[in-house]
């Protein structure tokens, strides 16, 4: 039987999906059947499950169920990716494989490997850029080189036309036009069920319906005031769409055009939000041009920074026990929910690298395990920005003061009290620096320092001086 394969990956939806739309058009033209394929990669399934992967696999299970209810039987394969494709080749005559490509990281390496394998067998491979508004090589300078500073990149990005939402012909979703071969899917099916059974928590904010509801609610209720409230972690001021972009349960085009059409002309929140979408494209572009940036600082001047290897301090940061309330609240939010407010991502990353002087790679890897919206390009870019070692990064001598950040962005301590219950009854006067509380206040609030809540694990002013010296020393080498 002659078939066209649609290979789903981090694009778990049936709407606004370039590769799916193109695969259907191709299958209709040649009168081939459609075979939906998902590769459950052993690289990820053999890792210790943490919040990031638990969320991803639950989203996958939801998508498979949703797709099958729409008469698109997504076949699951748990094997080496080439072996998985070979299993299909052994049964069906594959004429073409369509997928939305990865342009960075191990996904790009896998895509090249699979493409070479398929083309070597005479199978047509059709790859599409679907995950970003603009791909890694779409926005370049006039001389063909890539941007390294965000502002000029954004100015060029804004001028470029954005692709419209893609129409998918769902009339093709039927047993007449698509393959359902349960025997081929059994091994992958069993593996996914096993993973879901082993999850430590259940996520309910998954799937395309929830994604669309979240988008519509954001446009109706929060977009207008996005610029005012997005930096305040105690209020629901952000879009909360990043987790859906991670799994592809909603497309970036759908978000951009809905916001563009739904915003009032005078909405001040529109451009700050759209700029965040551009940052996502920017860091993706940077990663494509610096494929080693996950392990190596982009700014070569700081590749020799002598980071602190103190594991006790690193563990305190991970657990949210640093003695700096806003830092601890942010880390505990991450550990509990698999998500952290963006302002706090900057605060906690800066604290790790500038107050603890600990290698940014360790923080990036910890976020990778926990964040349900983990985006490799953005997370690496963000950590290199905070650590002052990346492209267009904050200067190394500009160091966030965690107490000042706390007073500015959580003035009453509302967010701190939510995630650090030891400080729940601490007076607003002391909430940002509980170590300054007199002992009678400590007893009164039920928070004796060094017992109920840790004393500051470092002196910020001293560490600030050390950080500047550390970077200046690296520059001189």
Is 281 annotated as contributing to ligand binding?
A: yes
Is 241 annotated as contributing to ligand binding?
A: yes
Is 276 annotated as contributing to ligand binding?
A: yes
Burial of 452 (0-12, 13-18, 19+ CB in 10 A): middle
Is 277 annotated as contributing to ligand binding?
A: yes
Is 375 annotated as contributing to ligand binding?
A: yes
Residue whose structure tokens are 């940077």: 286
Burial of 48 (0-12, 13-18, 19+ CB in 10 A): exposed
Residue whose structure tokens are 């009290």: 417
Is 282 annotated as contributing to ligand binding?
A: yes
- Residue 8 contacts residue 97 (beta carbons within 8 Å): no
- The HSE-up count of residue 338 (CA atoms within 13 Å, CB side) is 24
Instruction: Quickly list H helices, 252-356.
Output: 252-262, 270-289, 311-319, 325-337, 342-350
- Residue 65 contacts residue 250 (beta carbons within 8 Å): no
CB atoms within 10 A of CB 444: 13
Q: Give the pair of three-digit tokens for residue 463.
A: 């560490």
Is 20 annotated as contributing to ligand binding?
A: no
Between CA 155 and CA 439 the distance in angstroms is 55
Between CA 477 and CA 472 the distance in angstroms is 9
Is 279 annotated as contributing to ligand binding?
A: yes
- Residue 340 contacts residue 306 (beta carbons within 8 Å): no
Between CA 446 and CA 444 the distance in angstroms is 6
Q: What is the 8-class DSSP label of residue 417?
A: H
Q: What is the H or E stretch that residue 361 is in? A: helix 360-370
Query: Could you tell me whether strands 33-39 and 93-100 are parallel, antiparallel, or unpaired per DSSP bridges?
Result: unpaired
CA distances for 285 relative to 134, 152, 296, 372, 410, angstroms: 9, 14, 16, 22, 33
Query: Of 170, 11, 6, which is closest to residue 98 (Cα–Cα)?
Result: 6
- Residue 36 contacts residue 3 (beta carbons within 8 Å): no
Is 328 annotated as contributing to ligand binding?
A: no
Is 240 annotated as contributing to ligand binding?
A: yes
- Residue 345 contacts residue 378 (beta carbons within 8 Å): no
Q: Which residues does residue 406 pair with via DSSP β-bridges, in sequence order?
A: none
User: In angstroms, what is the C-alpha Rg of the chain?
Assistant: 24
CB atoms within 10 A of CB 127: 18
Is 283 annotated as contributing to ligand binding?
A: yes
Is 374 annotated as contributing to ligand binding?
A: yes
Residues 6+ apart with CB under 8 A from 176: none
Is 242 annotated as contributing to ligand binding?
A: yes
Return binding residues. Answer: 226, 238-242, 273, 276-283, 373-375
Return binding residues for FAD. Answer: 226, 238-242, 273, 276-283, 373-375
């Amino acid at each position: 039987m002659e078939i066209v394969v649609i290979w789903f990956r981090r694009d778990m939806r049936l709407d606004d999906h370039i590769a799916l739309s193109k695969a259907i058009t191709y299958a209709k033209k040649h009168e081939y059947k459609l075979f939906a394929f998902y590769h459950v990669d052993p690289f990820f399934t053999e890792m210790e499950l943490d919040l990031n992967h638990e969320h991803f696999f639950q989203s996958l299970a939801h998508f498979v169920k949703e797709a099958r209810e729409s008469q698109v039987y997504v076949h699951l394969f748990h094997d080496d990716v080439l072996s998985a494709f070979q299993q299909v080749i052994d049964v069906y005559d594959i004429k073409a494989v369509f997928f939305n490509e990865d342009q960075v990281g191990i996904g790009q390496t896998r895509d090249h490997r699979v493409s070479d394998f398929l083309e070597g067998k005479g199978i047509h491979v059709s790859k599409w850029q679907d995950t970003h508004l603009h791909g890694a090589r779409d926005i370049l300078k006039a001389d063909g080189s890539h941007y390294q500073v965000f502002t000029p990149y954004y100015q060029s990005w804004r001028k470029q036309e954005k692709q419209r939402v893609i129409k998918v012909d769902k009339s093709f979703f039927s047993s007449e036009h698509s393959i359902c071969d349960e025997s081929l899917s059994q091994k992958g099916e069993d593996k996914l069920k096993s993973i879901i059974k082993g999850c430590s928590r259940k996520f309910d904010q998954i799937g395309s319906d929830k994604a669309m509801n979240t988008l519509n609610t954001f446009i109706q209720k929060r977009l207008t005031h996005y610029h005012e409230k997005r930096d305040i972690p105690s209020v629901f001021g952000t879009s909360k769409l990043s987790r859906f972009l991670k799994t592809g349960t909603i497309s970036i085009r759908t978000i951009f055009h809905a916001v563009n059409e739904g915003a009032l002309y005078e909405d001040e929140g529109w451009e700050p939000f759209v700029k965040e979408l551009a940052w996502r494209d920017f860091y993706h572009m940077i990663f494509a041009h610096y494929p080693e940036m996950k392990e190596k600082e982009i700014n070569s001047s700081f590749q020799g920074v002598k980071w602190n290897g103190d594991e006790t301090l690193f563990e305190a940061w991970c657990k949210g026990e640093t003695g700096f309330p806003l830092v601890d609240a942010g880390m505990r939010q991450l550990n509990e929910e698999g998500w952290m407010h963006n302002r706090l991502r900057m605060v906690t990353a800066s604290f790790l690298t500038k107050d603890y002087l600990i290698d940014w790679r360790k923080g990036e890897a910890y976020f990778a395990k926990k964040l349900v919206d983990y985006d490799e390009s953005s997370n690496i870019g963000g950590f290199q920005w905070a650590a002052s070692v990346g492209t267009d990064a904050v200067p190394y001598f500009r160091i966030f003061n965690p107490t000042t950040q706390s007073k500015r962005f959580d003035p009453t301590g509302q967010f701190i009290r939510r995630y650090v219950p030891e400080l729940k009854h601490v007076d607003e006067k002391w909430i940002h620096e509980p170590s300054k509380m007199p002992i009678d206040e400590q007893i009164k609030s039920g928070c004796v320092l060094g017992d109920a809540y840790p004393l500051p694990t470092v002196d910020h002013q001293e560490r600030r001086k050390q950080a500047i010296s550390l970077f200046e020393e690296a520059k001189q080498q």
